Amino acid sequence: MKFDWLIVGAGFTGSVLAERIASQLNQKVLIVEQRDHIAGNAYDYYDEQGILVHKYGPHIFHANAQYIWDYLAQFTEWRSYYHQVLGVVDGKEVPIPFNLNTLSALFPSHYAEKLSQQLIEEYGFNVKVPILKIRETAKNNDLKFLADYIYDNVFHKYTLKQWELKPEELAPSVTARVPIYISRDNRYFQDSYQGLPKHGYTALFRSMLNHPNIKVLLNTSYQEIMNDIQYKRMIFTGPIDEFFEHTHGELPYRSLDFKFHYTEQDQMQAVGTVNYPNEYNYTRITEFKHLTGQRSYGSSYIEEYPQAYKRGENVPYYPIPKDEYKELYKKYQQEAEKLKGEVLFAGRLAEYQYYNMDQAVARALHLFKNLTGF
Ligand code: FAD
Ligand code: UDP
């Protein structure tokens, strides 16, 4: 069979592009996916106890752009959900991102009040300030104390666990994802659209890929078949350095080991995720029922243990946002440009970008628009 497109990877990037090309251009697409399932890292499934779990760590959809939410709403109903996270600091479970409620939970009330007033005077109310910025700009001794306290108790050890780097050794955008929030809003995200697909991510993908012009080949890496398949153009959503056989050296990634557990308790923690910045080797525990709203006997949860990525041994989950790796990525980007559009590179691994799901979808829709003018 002849295909117009060979798409490598059935995650959000590859699947959105496949859907658009199939439905809007009426062209034939083969998606080749090395795993035994669609949905990339958003894949979910019912575990032995019948509880819907996320195989590659907790995935909460959040977006500010309505067009992204509406686009996906063609393939799923949404369950509204506001993610909440508590972090264990000084033995107490306190709201994360660090906000004015966190101050009240950790400090005597008169001191919490004083610090709150100073934060508001210095930065304003309902404002998000990255920890590295507060550390740089804190003027008086109280704010300096607070900045050091938050850095030491929330960011320093968590970041060492997650990245084996200190916060200041990474691009500032990494810790800015979880800024100090000068407000009393305990939600993890403030995006206008937040939720999970009502019947899960895998069901969403099944619906998105259900088109006569789309064929999906699972359990197959593109290297195994690319010489046997006839296609005109390729979209690659795997690691870009792998595509070019690491000619400029390996791009580093971070990986994770996920440990799943089940408890007969109806609920084992108060909110969806509890972060452990200071204790244990895992960074966080997520209990799925909070996210999915599923009612069931017992509850399933997941611990995330960060680890170095070793090619062939584990999965490259996170590109590492750091200047020197960006330089290395640029060399691969230049190789990609030499292919003059014969192969297009998109997604978290192919662009070496710390994309959230909404950004991966936006990137795919944008690329499609550029291809076609649609
Ligand atoms: P992927 O989902 O990684 O898909 C790429 C696919 O390509 C994979 O299935 C891979 O197997 C396949 N592939 C690679 N190489 C080959 C090859 N050689 N041959 C065949 N197939 C290949 N985002 C959010 O918005 N909210 C969250 O709460 C959230 N939580 C996250 C938690 C964790 C632990 C992680 C790791 C990520 C999280 N994300 C979250 C980010 C989200 O997973 C990504 O934005 C999204 O998966 C990116 O989609 P993608 O298609 O670019 O990549
Ligand atoms: N972070 C931290 N302490 C926390 C939460 C986050 O130090 O309690 C830092 C850490 O460096 C982490 C980054 O902020 O990698 C981004 O956190 P996020 O929750 O967005 O990570 P992800 O969900 O992408 O793993």
Residue 90 structure tokens: 């000084």
| Residues 229, 366 within the same domain | yes
Q: Report whether the peptide linkage leading into residue 97 is cis, meaning its omega lies within 30 degrees of zero.
A: yes
Question: Is 321 a pocket residue for ligand 1 (Cβ < 6 Å)?
Answer: no
Q: What is the distance between the alpha carbons of residues 179 and 130, in angstroms, rounded to a whole number?
A: 4
Structural domain for 217, as ranges:
2-38+209-251+320-372
Give the residue, by CA position, lying nearest to ligand 2 atom 6: 178
| Residues 230, 357 within the same domain | yes
3-state helix, strand, coil in the chain (%, to 5): 35, 25, 40
Which of 147, 182, 217 finishes a domain? 182
Ligand 1 probe mutation, 357, 359, 363, most atoms within 8 A of CB? 357
Torsion sign (Cα): 110, 111, 112, 116: positive
Average pLDDT of the segment spanning 101-123: 98
Residue 25 located in a structural domain: yes
Ligand nearest the Cα of residue 40 is 1
| Residues 6, 145 within the same domain | no
Q: How far is the CA of 223 from the centre of ligand 2 (A)?
A: 34
Question: Is 348 a pocket residue for ligand 1 (Cβ < 6 Å)?
Answer: yes
* Higher-scoring residue by pLDDT: 359, 1: 359
| Residues 240, 324 within the same domain | yes
Residue 100 pLDDT greater than 80, yes or no: yes
| Residues 236, 138 within the same domain | no
Q: How far is the CA of 182 from the centre of ligand 1 (A)?
A: 32
* Closest ligand 2 atom, residue 58 Cα: 23
Q: How far is the CA of 338 from the centre of ligand 2 (A)?
A: 36
| Residues 95, 13 within the same domain | no
Q: What CATH number has the domain bearing residue 18?
A: 3.40.50.720
Rounded to 5 degrees, what angle do the CA atoms 336, 362, 75 make?
120
Considering its fold, how many domains does the chain have in total? 2
| Residues 20, 141 within the same domain | no
Percent of the chain residues topping a pLDDT of 70: 99
| Residues 92, 175 within the same domain | yes
Residue 29 located in a structural domain: yes
Average pLDDT of the segment spanning 249-256: 98
Give the residue, by CA position, lying nearest to ligand 1 atom 2: 40
Residue 63 pLDDT greater than 80, yes or no: yes
| Residues 163, 98 within the same domain | yes
Beta strand residue intervals within 78-202, DSSP E: 78-80, 85-89, 92-96, 127-129, 180-182, 193-197
Residue 346 located in a structural domain: yes
Give the residue, by CA position, lying nearest to ligand 2 atom 22: 177
Give the residue, by CA position, lying nearest to ligand 1 atom 46: 357
Q: How far is the CA of 317 from the centre of ligand 1 (A)?
A: 7
Q: What is the pLDDT of residues 293-350, one digit of tens each?
A: 999 999 999 999 999 999 999 999 999 999 999 999 999 999 999 998 899 999 999 9
Ligand 1 probe mutation, 35, 68, 222, 237, most atoms within 8 A of CB? 237
Average pLDDT of every residue of the chain = 97
Q: What is the pLDDT of residues 207-239, one digit of tens each?
A: 999 999 999 999 999 999 988 999 999 999 999
Residue 374 pLDDT greater than 70, yes or no: no
pTM of the model: 0.97
Ligand 2 probe mutation, 158, 256, 304, 359, most atoms within 8 A of CB? 158
Q: What is the pLDDT of residues 132-164, one digit of tens each?
A: 999 999 989 999 999 999 999 999 999 999 999
- pLDDT, position 340: 85
- pLDDT, position 252: 97
Q: What is the distance between the alpha carbons of residues 133 and 159, in angstroms, rounded to a whole number?
A: 16
* Closest ligand 1 atom, residue 346 Cα: 52
pLDDT band at 131 (very low <50, low <70, confident <90, very high): very high
Query: Which of 45-54, 196-205, 336-345 is the least confident region?
Result: 336-345
Residue 324 located in a structural domain: yes
Residue 103 located in a structural domain: yes
